[in-house]
Chain A
Amino acid sequence: MKHHYIDRYSDLDSPLHRLDPRVKILLAFFGILIMVSEPPGRLPPFAFYGGMLLVLLVASRLPPVFLLKRFLILSPFILMASVFYPVSLYLTKETQAIAFQREALEVALSIFLKAALSLLLLIWMISVERFHVLLMGLRKLKMPKLVGTISILMYSYLFVFWDEALKTTRARESRTPGKLTRAKLKTYSNQMAMILLHSWERSKTLHHAMLARGFHGEFYSLQKQGLKKRDVVFLVVFLLIFLNVRLFSGSLLNVAISLYHFTISLFTITIPQFDLTTPLLTL
């Protein structure tokens, strides 16, 4: 099967690819949290967040065409959700004054920017690490054990069922050439029921196989993950810059200091011997 949309560029080599998976997850999660916590209608900070994300994406050497395609596929949904804001207020005559209408449009634009930049950060996270390594990272970040186990099982069988979905789709199409004119929902439902049934039966065999291998509710990975000093420094500096923009945006001096810190942290992860403490202490 083709599943090129999952961690397609995770094998590229860049300083950001070499970060610990936990750092990537925390950076994406808290980065999104800080961006979306901007008050509705406040637009200037998004120029800075956008710039930071652009640097992150360029430094990761991700192909711009891939990012653009992925973004364009998903942007209509977030555009629709942002348009809902003024439309829903208009429908119930909650926007009467012109000034309020303008405010509603500004809020809609800020919603779009929040969603769009969060989407880009999520695409970055999934593109710079292999998916199963991210799952292991989540587990190390104390994700509930049950969700960890379900995730590993899901990831292992996702492709098996996707193949099965393709196979049953081909079988359905070969038996009903052209467009289905009758009992569409029934035909599709039977196909789904068959896939569910196969999954149910397979789970029993899998359980027996797992028990035979001594499974006791935890999966282990041979890949060793260890947080390095530079990983932590990069994460802390990145989030501090975001927090700085969130709390004190508008000050040119703050933005300049933030950019300086970001450049230093990029140096730190690119050149392992780079001593971070001296330049940081100067500010």
Chain B
Amino acid sequence: MHISDGIIDTGLSAAAFAASVGLVYASGRKVPQDEIPKMGITGAALFVLSLIHVPFAGTSIHPGLYGMAGILLGKRSFPVIFTVLLFQAMILQHGGLLSVGINSLNLGAGAFCAWLIWRQRGLPEYFRAALAGFIGIVIPVLLMALAFHLSGYGRGILYLFSVYIFAALAEGVITLFVVKFFRKTKSDILA
């Protein structure tokens, strides 16, 4: 899910970096002071959770929880995702310094769509949760495939990325269970 530096077209990468910095500035305006610790600490938790290996379908996956970030932080999730990706690039070298932009736009779009789904109060809650988790992976994968395609990788990249559908399904189930756990223990988080 993380594009490293040098993998996609430089112009696209640089433009995405500029756009993501602009988005961080825009989404960071008028953030209430009491939201900031929540954003920082949730970011730390998301970083750590992405390091847990979950056995799935004979292999193991790293949950991204981008859908969950959308549910918990809503439209404020973008600066948190940007910072988590910056940390992942610097500490673990997952992704790259220049490609923090394209990665945060992809994953931020996933979190944003997950938030939009979560807000559809007419749908059953657990369905919304599972769909938000699923979409939180599917949207970034589609955008990532688009970025690769625009960089000259050809249409075949879509076939290669279709394996992510299993990760998206697992993420949907994980998000559903996490929401279920919150509903049982501390439902005000899901307000």
**Chain A residues within CB distance 8 Å of chain B:** 5-6, 28-29, 32-33, 35-37, 40, 70, 74, 77-78, 81-82, 84-85, 87-92, 94, 107, 111, 113-115, 117-119, 122-123, 125-126, 131, 134, 144-147, 149-158, 160-162, 164-165, 169, 180, 184-186, 188-200, 202-204, 206-207, 210-211, 215-217
Contact = CB atoms under 8 A, between A and B. Distances in A.
A224 B38 CA distance: 29
Given A29-B97, A88-B153, A200-B189, A161 B44 contact: yes
Given A87-B160, A122-B93, A157-B44, 14 more contacts: A33-B98, A81-B7, A88-B156, A88-B160, A118-B6, A144-B24, A147-B28, A147-B86, A150-B79, A151-B40, A154-B43, A165-B48, A203-B41, A217-B33
B111 interface: no
A164 B44 CA distance: 12
Interface in B127-161: 148, 152-157, 159-160
A148 B26 CA distance: 15
Nearest to A78: B4
B10 A37 contact: yes
Given A90-B156, A203-B37, A111 B6 contact: yes
Chain B interface: which size bin?
A: 35 or more
9 contacts: A36-B98, A85-B153, A89-B153, A91-B156, A153-B39, A184-B55, A192-B65, A196-B45, A200-B42
B123 interface: no
B19 interface: no
Contacts of A210: 37
Nearest to A148: B83
A88 B43 contact: no
B178 A94 contact: no
Interface class of chain B by DSSP: helix
Contacts of A113: 6
B181 A206 contact: no
Contacts of B13: 36
A124 to B, nearest CB: 11
A147 B97 contact: no
Contact of B89 (A40, A122, A216): A122
Nearest to B43: A154
A90 B63 CA distance: 31
Q: Which of B33, B79, B178 has the most CB of A within 10 A?
A: B178
Given A35-B6, A206-B37, A151 B86 contact: yes
B82 interface: yes
B173 A185 contact: yes
B45 A195 contact: yes
A164 B48 CA distance: 9
B42 A203 contact: yes
B41 A157 contact: yes
A26 to B, nearest CB: 11
A182 to B, nearest CB: 12
Nearest to A191: B52
B71 to A, nearest CB: 10
Contact of B49 (A6, A33, A195): A195
Q: Which 3 A-B pairs have the closest CB atoms?
A: A153-B40, A114-B6, A91-B156
A217 B30 CA distance: 12
